[in-house]
Chains A and B, each alone.
Chain A
Amino acid sequence: MADATTAPSHAVAGHGGHGGHADGVPKRDFLKLTAGAMAAVGAGAFAWPFIDSMNPAADVLALSTTVVDIKPIVEGQAITVVWRGKPVFVRHRTPKEIEEARTVALSALPDPQTDQSRVQKTPWLIVVGICTHLGCVPLGQKPTDPRGDYGGWFCPCHGSHYDTSGRIRKGPAPTNLVVPAYAFLTDTTVRVG
């Protein structure tokens, strides 16, 4: 800053005093560059608050966790809770569903992940209920819903099939259903987020 403000007097004096272009032109270029750089920094500093104001506000960030009571969910049932405005599937899996999820060969999976790496407690599968293709909510939470060819979820938008570990098995979705960060606060309470 000090350089930028003291430079003009030298440059102007040099230019006017000698009147030589060979001497004056680089100084004028220097002035333009430094003044332009300062203006660019200023414009950036002015722009940032406006850009940042469109990021999630404090009250939105404050909603970033959801506590779920999983006690009423009996085996074979699933519930949907809302976390950050999105559906999260909490599924109490049957031993058959767990076995299906664990016996499949990793090589048969488009996005290979073991079931063990996707759950914290074996019966409880917790995934974000957003199809990784283009954001629809897959069917399969209600007993009457179609669950696709692999007994997990079926996305009606473009026909993606997910298995009982929420992994993509067939269809256009590129990756498995996302496992959110969560923790068991007690045996029957989960904090998502």
Chain B
Amino acid sequence: MVGLHKSDIPNPVLRWIDERMPVITLMQKEYGSFPTPKNFNYFWNFGALAMVNLVVMFITGIVLAMHYTPHVNYAFDSVERIMRDVNYGWLIRYIHMNGASMFFIVVYIHILRGLYYGSYKNPRELLWILGVVILLLMMATAFMGYVLPWGQMSFWGATVITNLFSAFPLVGESIVTWLWGGFSIDNATLNRFFSLHYLLPFVIAGVVFLHVVALHITGSNNPLGIDPKGPQDTIPFHPYYTIKDSVGLGVYAMVFAFLVFFAPNYLGHPDNYTPANPLVTPPHIVPEWYFMPYYAILRAVPDKLGGVLLMFGSIMVLFVLPWLDTSPVRSMRFRPLARPFFFVFVVACVVLGYGGSRPPEGIWVVLSRVGTAYYFLYFLVIMPVLGKLERPLPLPESIAAPVLGGGPLPAGAAQQPMEKA
């Protein structure tokens, strides 16, 4: 494979480049003519939206870093200076701040889409695992970013989260001291968090690249969860899905803009506009909303190490999900038993999310425990067992068949489930 690439691009300059480095051919193949299942619904927008969101975070973050000072004495003031003095600083910071929330909204929908339509199953296990890695990196990045303004929530959030590691026996205290670079959260901690907050997005971009590479090997899943059988089942990515993604992008941009311009602090905490004080903890500290479900799991367990392990376990379980789900059918459309359990799972996540935001007392402790139990039951018991017990609905012969004839209609089939005799 040594030698110039054979390029048929008409423009001589572009062809000259393409012969030596066939990136134009590659883009045309992977994003132009790339054969894509023709039956995507709007849930298939969210990968592209996440990509756009990452770019927005990069642009705003790099500009914010031009004005930010990572020092305990100046960090809070430099953020206020961005808000008051830097031209459009308020806009750039609010985009970055709410961009984190938008990123998690988009990614959570992207993940639930994968769960519902079985996008993690053979042959897309590695694609899914790379996605979970991205989620973990996002969580680390978001956490460290939240520390940078050096408000009360920044400081005490950092304290609580780093102290999670003190739960591990023997080495816990040493790990925490190492994370802090001292005996409390201080300038050393702030400096390394800034450095890593700047670094990790590039790591995310790298893993996103691998995620896309893996996706373009297996091809996209689709709402029916069956493989395309031929050209009649696919359409080229451009212009069909570039246009469909653009429509979703418009809606996404409107939601984003609404948050930025009309409710920029709605998802934040007023306590973080108080400068960090290492001597006073605010009465009710909670993480950002996207961490609430994990926070609820942490508090649901009346044991320090147990809570920490379950909280980390709630993500770790996602890594092995492709092997926990024993059903050969991908899409929940054809899984009459699994479908209700999935929707209960979504409710459990919402309950955990809300429970995490409440003070840990009364009914919310109970609900958090029920939600935690269901979260793990769903992955560790319900998924493995259902795959064996459930009789899935008949799958259409192909993506085109229900439309062009020749196979059972999924909608009609759903009304006449064929139960196991």
Closest to A47 in B: B59
Contact with B along A40-74 (1 / 0, CB 8 A): 00000000011011110111100000000000000
- Across the interface, A57 reaches (CB within 8 A) one of B60, B63, B81, B91, namely B81
* Total CB contacts across the A-B interface at under 8 A: 35
B81 x A53 contact (CB < 8 A):
no
Distance, CA A52 to CA B86, complexed state (A): 9
Closest to A48 in B: B88
Interface residue? B84 (CB, 8 A): yes
B87 x A49 contact (CB < 8 A):
yes
Residues A58 and B92 in contact in the complex (CB < 8 Å), given A50-B59, A50-B63: no
A58 x B88 contact (CB < 8 A):
no
Contact with A along B54-95 (1 / 0, CB 8 A): 000001100100110000000000000100111111011000
- Across the interface, B91 reaches (CB within 8 A) one of A49, A54, A59, A60, namely A49
Closest to A62 in B: B85
- Across the interface, B84 reaches (CB within 8 A) one of A50, A53, A54, A58, namely A58
Distance, CA A30 to CA B149, complexed state (A): 48
B87 x A52 contact (CB < 8 A):
yes
B92 x A57 contact (CB < 8 A):
no
Distance, CA A162 to CA B87, complexed state (A): 38
B85 x A53 contact (CB < 8 A):
no
B86 x A49 contact (CB < 8 A):
no
- Across the interface, A58 reaches (CB within 8 A) one of B63, B67, B85, namely B85
- Across the interface, B92 reaches (CB within 8 A) one of A49, A55, A59, A60, namely A49
Looking at B60, B85, B87, B88, which has the most chain A CB atoms within 10 Å of its CB?
A: B87
List the A side residues contacting B88 at CB < 8 Å.
49-50, 52-53
Closest to A58 in B: B85
Distance, CA A9 to CA B345, complexed state (A): 42
Distance, CA A49 to CA B56, complexed state (A): 13
Distance, CA A58 to CA B85, complexed state (A): 5
A54 x B66 contact (CB < 8 A):
yes
List the B side residues contacting A58 at CB < 8 Å.
84-87
Distance (whole angstroms) from the CB of B63 to the closest CB of chain A = 5
Distance, CA A50 to CA B63, complexed state (A): 7
List the A side residues contacting B60 at CB < 8 Å.
50
A57 x B66 contact (CB < 8 A):
no
Looking at B59, B67, B84, B86, which has the most chain A CB atoms within 10 Å of its CB?
A: B86
Distance, CA A58 to CA B63, complexed state (A): 17
Closest to A55 in B: B87
List the A side residues contacting B91 at CB < 8 Å.
49
Distance (whole angstroms) from the CB of B285 to the closest CB of chain A = 32
Distance, CA A60 to CA B84, complexed state (A): 12
List the A side residues contacting B86 at CB < 8 Å.
53, 57-58
B59 x A57 contact (CB < 8 A):
no
Distance, CA A156 to CA B88, complexed state (A): 41
Q: Give residues 37-62 of B contacting A (CB, 8 Å).
A: 59-60
List the B side residues contacting A59 at CB < 8 Å.
81, 85
Distance, CA A58 to CA B90, complexed state (A): 13
List the A side residues contacting B84 at CB < 8 Å.
58
Distance, CA A50 to CA B66, complexed state (A): 11
Distance, CA A55 to CA B63, complexed state (A): 12
Distance, CA A55 to CA B67, complexed state (A): 11
List the A side residues contacting B85 at CB < 8 Å.
57-60
List the B side residues contacting A57 at CB < 8 Å.
67, 81, 85-87, 89
List the B side residues contacting A49 at CB < 8 Å.
87-88, 91-92
Closest to B95 in A: A49
List the A side residues contacting B67 at CB < 8 Å.
53, 57
Distance, CA A50 to CA B56, complexed state (A): 11
A53 x B59 contact (CB < 8 A):
no
Distance, CA A54 to CA B81, complexed state (A): 13
Distance, CA A55 to CA B92, complexed state (A): 14
Distance (whole angstroms) from the CB of B405 to the closest CB of chain A = 23
Distance (whole angstroms) from the CB of B384 to the closest CB of chain A = 47
Distance, CA A54 to CA B92, complexed state (A): 12
List the A side residues contacting B87 at CB < 8 Å.
49, 52-53, 55, 57-58
Distance, CA A53 to CA B85, complexed state (A): 10
Distance (whole angstroms) from the CB of B240 to the closest CB of chain A = 14
Q: List 27 A-B contacts (CB under 8 A).
A: A49-B87, A49-B88, A49-B91, A50-B59, A50-B63, A50-B88, A50-B92, A53-B63, A53-B66, A53-B67, A53-B86, A53-B88, A53-B92, A54-B66, A55-B87, A57-B67, A57-B81, A57-B85, A57-B86, A57-B87, A57-B89, A58-B84, A58-B85, A58-B86, A59-B81, A59-B85, A60-B85
Pick the 3 closest A-B CB pairs, nearest first: A49-B88, A58-B85, A57-B85
CB within 8 Å of A: which residues of B?
Answer: 59-60, 63, 66-67, 81, 84-89, 91-92
14 new A-B contacts, CB < 8 A, other than A53-B89, A54-B63, are A50-B88, A52-B87, A52-B88, A53-B63, A53-B66, A53-B87, A53-B92, A55-B87, A57-B81, A57-B89, A58-B86, A58-B87, A59-B81, A60-B85
